[in-house]
Amino acid sequence: MFYTLTANPAVDMTVAGPTLIPDENVRANSASYTANGKGLDVSFALKKFGVDSVALGFFGGFTGKFIVEETMNLGCLCRPVWIDGVTRICAYINDGEHEYGVLNPGAPLTPQYEEELYNILDTSTGMDCLVVSGSVPPRASKDFLDQVMDHAQARGADVVLDLSSDKLKSLASKKPLLIKPNHHEMREIFGVPVNTDDEVRVAMKMAHDEGVQNVLLTRGSRGDAYFSNGEDIWYAKREFNIKLVSSVCAGDCTLAAFLLKWYKDRDNVEEAMKLAMATGANVAESVGLGDFGRVDEYSKRVTVRKLERK
């Protein structure tokens, strides 16, 4: 079974309205409030595909209670660590031309809360794969993510990482099964651009040399992605345009869709990339995860090719 860890969850407030004007109040046209967090999004997306998972994380206050309740209402299993403080609220504002995100830091951790999570990992049954996604809360121990990987791998679980911090590079030596950076994160973490096939080859080799087994590299609004298993590299591109409503959740659902097809069948890269690209595009056209209503249609309009070896 998949487990997901969202160490720093949030209630996402997504607002649509007119152009923002400095020092002026702007009346929104609509607003929605959703339980969110990168690992939680993976669990939610898997559930939409009919796959159960267990969502782990730290939750506090009225917002934390709301997220846990919404997670269970969506049919996902959840083993929360309850903490003092209030789980953060993050705001995303779309003025019809641009999207703005205001991400709050979150409630701080203590060693006691971390130990509670480690105990959950140590006593979890059927944990085949742990997906660790998103930011780390304030005051987390410096080795918090190292400990998470150690406890999961001690149980025989694979670990998938979707992290935007340079901590990803140091964790590579622990040989995660898969990492999923976007093009900005790949450049910032490994110090190389990924604008061309040759640059991608260099970046992928660097990641594998650090210890990463597999890499799924997404490039956001460009509508394409690369996957490398250390021997071959595949390139996928969607052959259609979308109208962006919100990019929130899109990358997380891309990862969930990829794992759905690839985790049990490592040779099924082409179908996994098609479903991943289609899912990410469909979600980007919605507030939150949407209904996945066009995933099958979009999958047929994604092309995948294998790069020539050099």
Which residues are part of the catalytic machinery?
Answer: 252
Q: How crowded is residue 58: how many other Cβ atoms within 10 Å of its Cβ? A: 28
Give which of 286, 188, 278, 253 is closest to 4, Cα–Cα.
Answer: 253
Give which of 235, 229, 216, 201 is closest to 162, Cα–Cα.
Answer: 216
Residue 285, CA distances (Å) to 20, 52, 224, 279, 280 in order: 22, 25, 16, 10, 9
Q: How is the beta sheet containing 30-36 ordered, strand by strand? A: 30-36, 10-16, 88-94, 99-102
Three-class DSSP labels, 134-171: CCCCCCCCCCHHHHHHHHHHHCCCEEEEECCCCHHHHH
